[in-house]
Amino acid sequence: MITYLENSKQFQLDTDNSSYVMQVRDGFLLHIYYGERLNVTDHSYMRWEQGRAAFSCCLEGCQGFILDDTPLEYPCFGRGDLRSPALEIINPDGTNICDLRYVSHKIIGGKPGLPGLPAFYAEEGDRASTLVITLRDNISLVECDLYYTVFEDYNIISRHTVIRNCGEKPCHIKAAASACVDFDHMDFEVISNYGTHCRERMIERFRLNHGKFELASRRGSSGHVHNPFLILASPTADEDHGEFYGVLLVYSGSHAITAEGTQYNACRLLAGLNPDGFSWKLEQNGEFTTPEAVLCYTDKGLTSLSHIYNKAINDRLIRGKYKNARRPVLLNSWEACYFSFDEARLLKIGKCAADLGIELLVIDDGWFGKRNTDNCSLGDWVIDRKKLPNGLDNIYKMLKENNCGLGIWFEPEMVSPDSDLYRAHPDWCLHIENRPRSEGRHQLMLNLSRPEVCDYLYDSIAKILDSGMISYVKWDFNRNMAEVGSEVLPPDRQGEVSHRYYLGLYSLLERLTQSFPEVLFESCSGGGGRFDAGMLYYMPQTWTSDNSDAIERLKIQYGTSLVYPMSAISAHVSASPNHQTAHVTDFATRFTVAFTGSFGYELDPTSLSEEEKLLVAKSAELYKKYGYVLVTGDYYRLKTNYEEDCAAWCAVSQDRAVCVAGYVNTHVRLYDKNQHIRLKGLDKDTAYKDIFTGQTYSGAQLMGFGLPVKITLEYRSQMWILEKA
């Protein structure tokens, strides 16, 4: 609910569990409060001026009012707020001052979309409404519309800003955050994800200090290194108790999220496009829309914050046929055969997979151009007739006869210098004239800010999908941006290329996903290098990591679950010894770990023993029956090998009738006490039956004492499926 109190010029935004309050004072839009839900009343007393003027600039006519000590909703550079700004404008006269004052506001039902950008959406019947507050610099005539959508049932508030040049001459945006929250204390710990290729989304938690902590990407992708979300925790808060604030960006390009501890022991949280390398020219009446940031508050612990984001992403970000639906059990050819396959081998693998109950065969990299290694052919999306003389026809036919679908890999945003596409259009890649073009994995990036490049990609991909044979696309992206230039833009617009690239990509994805609504799209970037809410708007799942080792995946999947739902986390059983780490793990452990996400295989099934084949068949059957619990249920982190010698988790269906739980021992402790895993989220009066052993427990027993762990060996696991008896 959004309430405006005219007398105190106060805005109050309420979700079911939180309130967010702002007020107009002396024309400035102040932040008053964000936290536990309040009653609707005048909250002006919560902000008072201390007049701490140490080396600060006082505003004209209001001596006690020091901007540097004032919590602001959309702070600008240049008028005495010396913290990091949300907005920095280069005016036509070259100065970079901006002074935004309140002009007007409106409250509208539902939520408008963001032009060309991914965003959370409201559905008919949702308790969702939007406040738009317009601020203006009365000298430069730059205007900002601050958008706040309150999703009452989902306990999130989404924000973005539209910046408009109402002056006569062009100006440039140097920095434009999606959201700013000025807290009046800095008694926080920061929780973030950091990582790299094959080690994505590790969790870090540390005290917020004075100065600025920045989670950022300058790589033209959300990247493996810092996922675009940040959590502020009260220092004593844990999984089940205490206050947490989250900010999540719905964007896949370069971002910056900062938490700044100030001289007055306050904290400014900023999230948005990374200002490094960015600028945007606004002509007269030109508008720029920032990506969306989604805020969340809870006083019920980290699990509660995760559940809020997980559910909102499942219900109000992911779209299409696979929204809240179990995904097909698939087998991907990459770790099964890499580039070495032909029709005969794929027919053999596909038939074997289908016989074991697998529902989809994915032909990964290597089916197009003359791609036998990774140094050529990206851009030439034409079937390699040497490997597949009959195209996909025979494979598709065999799979169809065996009730199995066909999926295919693309890496559309790239071009190999050794490709027909590059020979025909050497100017279509990101590059800067007269400078060398740096290659990553022997490839260059296409310039998706050019519409003709996006059209080419749409046509090439549509040609393959038009055959009607493909029901799944894995969309890969295996390098980051360098030499970010476009020869079709003038010099004063070169700072726009990286963001324009994403506008191009998003419009391409929108066209493709609308044209092929039956196709399940999976995002990938050298594993989980672009695991973000922006991509999830178009593609409901992401290949989580190129590290498919079950033990390594424990931490990766655990870290990913902080914000992202298990439905989005693709997890496959791969071969043992593992190809990345050489760890040896038994089949049951690999299965237990992969069974927490969108499930599949990444191995050659024809090389399995008869006993293993039976396990594959059994696992496919189990996923078909219980996979929905992972897609739509509540996920609980129970134990983590970040802190202990084991990991454990459970997912509970929305009706609390089914629970899937897993445990992996990651370090053997001889003669240790008996372990028991206390579950969460069950109904304490319900009797639950373990489908494997027939043992019955009450919910109270399972949550009070827990499940007995009977394995003691390292890298071994135990899995339970408990059903209402």
Interacting span for ligand DGJ (CB under 6 A) from 53-61, 63-71, 519-527, 552-560: 519-527
The yes or no reply on residue 623 touching ligand DGJ (CB under 6 A) is no
Q: How far apart are CA 596 and CA 593, in angstroms?
A: 6
CB atoms near residue 53 (< 10 Å):
14
Is the torsion defined by CA of 365, 371, 374, 376 positive or negative?
A: negative
User: Which residue, 496 or 546, has its beta carbon nearer to ligand DGJ?
Assistant: 546
Geometric angle at alpha carbon 586, from 584 and 591, rounded to 5°: 120
Neighbours of 576 (CB within 10 A): 19
Using CA atoms of 409, 413, 417, 419 in order, give the dihedral in degrees to the nearest 10: 50
In angstroms, what is the minimal distance from the CB of 192 to ligand DGJ?
23
* Piece of 31-39, 522-530, 649-657, 681-689 that binds ligand DGJ (CB under 6 A): 522-530
**Residue 476 is a catalytic residue:** yes
Residues 6 or more apart from 499 whose CB is under 8 A from it?
253, 273, 278, 280
- Of 380, 476, 532, 549, the active-site residue reads 476
Tell the smallest beta-carbon distance from residue 527 to ligand DGJ (Å): 5
- How does strand 199-207 pair with strand 267-273? unpaired
First to last CA, the chain: 41
Set 137, 315, 384, 546: catalytic member: 546
Contact 160, 317 (CB under 8 A): no
- With contact defined as beta carbons under 8 Å apart, do 31 and 22 qualify? yes
- Rounded least distance, CB 409 to ligand DGJ, Å: 6
Q: From the list 99, 152, 200, 364, which residue makes contact with ligand DGJ (rule: CB under 6 A)?
A: 364
Cβ at position 146, least distance to ligand DGJ in Å: 38
Query: With binding defined as CB under 6 A, does residue 552 bind ligand DGJ?
Result: no
**CA 714 to CA 470: how far, in whole Å?**
41
Out of 122, 181, 448, 524, the only residue in the binding site for ligand DGJ (CB under 6 A) is: 524
Residue 8 or 580 having the CB closest to ligand DGJ = 580
Tokens of 697: 């427990």
Residue 496 binding ligand DGJ, by CB under 6 A:
no
User: Cβ of residue 482: shortest distance to ligand DGJ, in angstroms?
Assistant: 19
Least CB distance to ligand DGJ at residue 526 (A) = 5
- Judged by CB under 6 A, the residue of 527, 534, 633, 706 near ligand DGJ is 527
**Rounded CA gap, 633 and 637, in Å?**
13
Binding-site size for ligand DGJ (CB under 6 A) equals: 12
Angle at 199 between CA 195 and CA 203, to 5 degrees: 55
Which is closer to ligand DGJ, CB of 140 or CB of 252? 252
Nearest residue (CB) to ligand DGJ, 334 versus 591: 334
364 in catalytic set: no
One-letter identity of residue 318: I
482 or 524, CB closer to ligand DGJ? 524
Helices 343-355 and 393-401 pack at an angle, to 10 degrees, of: 10
Closest residue (Cβ) to ligand DGJ?
A: 365
Binding residue (CB under 6 A) for ligand DGJ from 413, 476, 549, 690: 476
Pick out residues in 374-393 that bind ligand DGJ (CB under 6 A): 374
| DSSP secondary structure letter of residue 624 | H
Q: Is 334 in the site for ligand DGJ (CB under 6 A)?
A: yes
The SS3 assignment for 128 reads strand
What DSSP state is assigned to residue 40? S
Sole window of 11-19, 115-123, 341-349, 521-529 interacting with ligand DGJ (rule: CB under 6 A): 521-529
**Whole-angstrom Cα distance, residue 571 to residue 660?**
16
Q: Which DSSP string corresponds to 632-693?
A: HSEEEEEE-TTTSSEEEEEEE-TTSSEEEEEEEE-S--TTPPPPEE---S--TTSEEEETTT
Among 11, 472, 543, 623, binds ligand DGJ (CB under 6 A): 543
Regarding 409 and contact with ligand DGJ (CB under 6 A), the answer is: yes
- Smallest distance, Å, CB 575 to ligand DGJ? 14
CB of 474 to ligand DGJ, least distance (A): 6
526 binds ligand DGJ (CB under 6 A): yes
Which positions from 624 through 653 interact with ligand DGJ, judged by CB under 6 A? none
Minimum distance, C-beta of residue 231 to ligand DGJ, in the bound complex (Å): 27
* DSSP per-residue letters across 345-378: HHHHHHHHHHHTT--EEEE-S-SBTT-SSTTS-T
**Among 99, 145, 315, 546, which residue sits at the site for ligand DGJ (rule: CB under 6 A)?**
546
The set of catalytic residues is: 476, 546
Give me the residues that bind ligand DGJ (CB under 6 A), please. 334, 364-365, 374, 409, 476, 478, 524, 526-527, 543, 546
